[in-house]
Amino acid sequence: MNSKKILLIEDDPTLRNAIEAFLIKQGYELRVYDNVSKAMKEVGPDCHLILSDVMMPGLTGYDLLGYVRKHFPTIPVILMTGYGTIEKAVEAMKNGAYDFLIKPFSLNVLEMALKSAFLDFPHDLPGETKNTEKYPTAQIKASDRFLASNIKMKEILSNLRRIAQSKATVLIQGESGTGKELIAQMIHEFSPRANRIFVAINCAAMPDTLLESELFGHEKGSFTGAVARQIGKFELSNNGTILLDEISEMSLSMQTKLLRVLQECEIYRVGGTQPVPLNLRVICTTNRDLHQYTKQGNFREDLYYRINVIPITLPPLRERGDDVLFMAREMINEFSILHARKSPELDESAKQKILSHPWVGNVRELRNAMERAVLVGSFDVIENGAILLPNEKTNRISQGPAADYVEPGLSLAEIEKRVILTTLDRFHGNRTKTANELGISLRTLRNKLKTYGVAGDSMSGKLDAI
Ligand SMILES: Nc1ncnc2c1ncn2[C@@H]1O[C@H](COP(=O)(O)OP(=O)(O)OP(=O)(O)O)[C@@H](O)[C@H]1O
Ligand SMILES: [Mg+2]
């Protein structure tokens, strides 16, 4: 006996009976209604989940959602909807629905949605010990690293907590360095899955076949070199959150495979014949205008709508007004502590320089510039000369790349180091782009940077995904 009480509201008797029979067989305790007003009277703290149709005569599933969110905020609501009403269902997710199922759906998908909801909202655990599996985070929490004084950014932040409660897929768009990965980590931290795993994978960093194997895993012997069964990132992130970074860079054939995963809540390992059921919270990021990219035929439209349930667009730093100064000061404090220095002030000339620079590399570029400023500036005050900007560097480089890298007497290793660091500068600290440009793997780049003492996040600020 499951002992979970579910309220089912559906006006179509055929579907209602089918779901009822299935759920009773699964051991759930069911209360069944054909309209919202009757169901509303029965919602109470002893109810564990609400599964409701959207369009019904009289009050709708949205009315029920509003009522439940207001009076019983800890009861998850799953909506069932036909294709014509998807847009509204998406709106409902933003208003706190836990999940929505698009009719017709398989009983498999229904079962997965319920399991996932009960895992994220385990009502029967006394004293709120939400998740038992613990994945300790090695680093400072993303929400503690997040800086914002700008109104647009604060609004995004306040929405994050609400968004985090649902299982809806989030699409984070924004220029490189605007903080997409940081926001993705925060959604995970605010979500009921916070104590479970967060897995990030960069879809741009590897060729198709490798990406497929990384995501789906493979069975022993499925290809040359597959000497043992390997669990993929999807399976690894089961019950947690997976971040598909730079999703736009997935090939069309991988997009088709991903769509299947999102629709069916299950995967097949490469070379496998048994489906593996999965409970995933998916977050995607891109620095392209994905809608435009879709219209141009580079991205599957159906997948775009699947992942764009909750869109978040991060404004570039140059559109965040005074935020740039606020962040610069905070970063100077942070790096001063890191480098065991007294925290210097920014003088007027430095402030003007920061305010007038376009920061095309966004927060990442600002971080790099502030770390340098702390290292080269005086202990008391940072003047504009301590803030090195790319156009100034370009002038230097335009004397000719060779002149910039090679001087008589330099060792090969030193020349290599200069080439790598200059390229990293040119891409505002973006390691993926730097590695691509130099034709080396991300891993090699990371190892080299480590040997140069360019500490992981403090220089590039980028948590590379592989
Ligand atoms: N609001 C913020 N407050 C503090 N640090 C931030 C903020 N936004 C971004 N950062 C920092 O800036 C750096 C770049 O952020 P992040 O990697 O999240 O960007 P991104 O949008 O994913 O970039 P890309 O598209 O290049 O992958 C990181 O070090 C991150 O911690
Ligand atoms: Mg990123």
Specify the length of the chain in residues. Answer: 466
For ligand 1, whether the C-beta of 430 sits within 6 Å is yes
**Do 5-120 and 156-313 share a fold?**
yes
CATH number of the 317-381 domain: 1.10.8.60
What is the distance between the alpha carbons of residues 450 and 455, in angstroms, rounded to a whole number?
A: 6
Calculate the CA 392 to chain-centre distance: 34
Task: Tell how far the Cα of 124 is from the centroid of ligand 2, in angstroms.
Answer: 38
What H or E segment, with its residue span, contains residue 416?
Answer: helix 412-426
Question: Is domain 389-466 in CATH 3.30.470.10, yes or no?
Answer: no
* Closest by CA position to 314, among listed 170, 192, 428, 429: 170
Q: 58 exposed, middle or buried (CB, 10 Å; 0-12, 13-18, 19+)? A: exposed
Phi and psi torsions of 215, nearest 5°: -80, -45
- 110: which 2 tokens? 């229904």
* Domain limits, the chain: 5-120, 156-313, 317-381, 389-466
The beta-strand segments (E) located in 28-176 are 29-33, 49-53, 77-81, 99-102, 170-173
What is the distance between the alpha carbons of residues 221 and 240, in angstroms, rounded to a whole number?
A: 29
* Closest by CA position to 28, among listed 53, 8, 13, 54: 8
Residue nearest to atom 7 of ligand 1 (CA): 179
Domain 156-313: homologous superfamily in CATH: P-loop containing nucleotide triphosphate hydrolases (3.40.50.300)
Class in CATH terms, 5-120: alpha beta
What does each of the 466 residues of the chain score in pLDDT, given as a tens digit? 568 999 999 999 999 999 999 999 999 999 999 999 999 999 998 999 999 999 899 999 999 999 998 899 889 999 998 866 667 777 788 788 999 888 888 898 999 999 999 988 886 543 333 443 444 445 689 999 999 999 999 999 999 988 898 999 999 999 999 999 999 999 999 999 999 999 999 998 888 889 999 999 999 888 877 788 889 999 999 999 999 999 999 999 999 999 999 989 999 999 999 999 999 999 999 999 999 999 999 999 999 999 998 999 999 999 998 899 999 999 999 999 988 888 999 999 999 999 999 999 999 999 999 998 988 877 789 998 888 886 565 444 333 344 445 555 666 777 788 788 888 888 888 888 888 888 777 888 888 888 877 754 433 333 333 2
- 433: which 2 tokens? 């782009």
| Parallel, antiparallel or unpaired: strands 230-231 and 217-218 | antiparallel
* Closest by CA position to 6, among listed 62, 50, 55: 50
Decide: 177 and 361 in contact? Cβ < 8 Å.
yes
* Top mutation candidate among 289, 460, 462 for ligand 1, by most atoms within 8 Å of CB: 462
For ligand 1, whether the C-beta of 145 sits within 6 Å is yes
Residue with tokens 């971040």: 243
Give the number of other CB atoms < 10 A from CB of residue 175. 18
